[in-house]
Structure 1
Amino acid sequence: MVPEDEALMRRIAVGDEAAFALLMDRHLSRAVALATRVTGSRAVADEIAQECFLRVWTKAASWQPTARVSTWLWRIVMNLSLDHMRKARPEPLDDVPEPVDPGLSPEAETERNALGRALEAALAGLPARQSQAVRLCLIDGFSQSEASAALDVTEGALESLLVRARRALRASLAAYAPAEVGQA
């Protein structure tokens, strides 16, 4: 039987390294993905994830099970990521082209790449909280409960952020799908 995160936290609080390794294995990739989305840098995201799990190890004894462990982890990652963004100028995203899909024609590939760049530009143009809400819920697959906890807002406030973000994204991306924009 696989232990629940809360049981692992109780074991980590008394210094159980195996429990810590299991919790880290379970959540590291998602922590790195979240930090990468916020910071735009995989290298910075790796550092943030390491700092997050260092805090888990050092603060495990004071952890209170008022929320799920994963929600607590995403809040730590989000706070560390936002702290990094406040302290440092954002680094430009890597200019490495996406792998070519052999099933797409060159024209379709070019169009897909242009749409991806337009989406990134539209997300960058949103207010920070709206952009974070979109990335968490629509890109990273967080539930609204998890995302609201990570952003430290109510679920109602998160929904408002998402509604405003969707409206702004529809307007920004209207040129790419004018017939579909009004239907969404």
Structure 2
Amino acid sequence: MQNLNEIKKDAALMRAVAAGDQKACREVADTYLSISYRLAVRILGDTSLAEDMAQEAFMKLWKQAPDWQAKAQIRTWLHRVTHNLCVDQLRKQKRFSDDEVPDIADPALGVIEKLEQQQIDDKVTEALQKLPPRQRIAISLVYFEECGNIEAADIMELSVDALESLLARGRRKLKDLLLPARRLRDGVM
């Protein structure tokens, strides 16, 4: 179950947004816009389209502010809206894009480590884009957006068992897709 204190805190924040409090608006945007964008990039594989989806999700959030009810965290609500917008977009496209996901480099890593990590990230992103959309979304929510299974199932409007099944199939498929790259990296034929 979602943290009741977070839900109450978010409800107060949304009341401030509805009242036109610029500080509250900035706080919501600074905290949640990147979360919405990251999820959209992982689902769509297209950075410019992900920007559009994140902006559209935020437009819905701003419009929702006066009617906000303390039933969910902003993050959960925004994940669901972003998810739904991206799924609608995938249905419109009837195709999938393999554009690269931008990665923020860890400043503690050296140049060689950064390159190696980027190669790994690229392979994972490429493999992730080859998964069926529902498996990709489930894995993105749980492993990249750090949603719990209950929250991710709620966002995807699935039972927890159905989500766990998607995760299991997605992990197996990712393992199969990434195994050749790992063998090549380790020099195993």
For the aligned pair, the TM-score class normalised by the smaller chain equals 0.7 to 0.9
Partner secondary structure for residue 173 of structure 1: helix
* Structure 1 portions without partners, runs of 5+: 179-184
The answer as to 2:152 corresponding to 1:143 is no
Of 2, 16, 24, the residue aligned with 2:21 is: 16
CA distance in 2 between counterparts of 1:112 and 1:29 reads 20
The answer as to 2:107 corresponding to 1:102 is no
More off after superposition, 19-28 vs 147-156? 147-156
The answer as to 2:80 corresponding to 1:72 is no
Partner secondary structure for residue 160 of structure 1: helix
Partner secondary structure for residue 147 of structure 1: helix
Amino acid at match of 1:143: G
Q: CA deviation at 1:101?
A: 5.8
Whether the aligned pair in 1 keeps the contact of 2:45 and 2:97 (CA below 8 Å) is yes
CA distance in 1 between counterparts of 2:12 and 2:101 reads 43
| RCO comparison, higher one (Cα < 8 Å, 6+) | 2
Aligned length: 172
Whether the aligned pair in 1 keeps the contact of 2:43 and 2:133 (CA below 8 Å) is no
**Partner deviation per Cα, 1:27-60 (whole Å, 9 max, x = no partner):** 1111111111111122222222221111111122
Pair 1:175–1:103, CA change in 2 (3 A): same
The CA RMSD measured in Å over matched residues stands at 3.3
CA distance in 2 between counterparts of 1:116 and 1:25 reads 25
CA distance in 2 between counterparts of 1:26 and 1:67 reads 16
Task: Calculate the TM-score normalised by the size of structure 1.
Answer: 0.75
Whether the aligned pair in 2 keeps the contact of 1:48 and 1:81 (CA below 8 Å) is yes
Amino acid at match of 1:82: V
More off after superposition, 164-173 vs 118-127? 118-127
Pair 1:154–1:16, CA change in 2 (3 A): farther
The aligned counterpart of 1:59 is: 64
CA distance in 1 between counterparts of 2:78 and 2:110 reads 35
* Structure 2 portions without partners, runs of 5+: 1-7, 184-189
CA distance in 1 between counterparts of 2:84 and 2:47 reads 17
CA distance in 1 between counterparts of 2:171 and 2:101 reads 27
- Give matches, 1:148-167, under 5 Å: 148-167=153-172
CA distance in 1 between counterparts of 2:101 and 2:140 reads 20
The aligned counterpart of 2:41 is: 36
Whether the aligned pair in 1 keeps the contact of 2:45 and 2:99 (CA below 8 Å) is yes
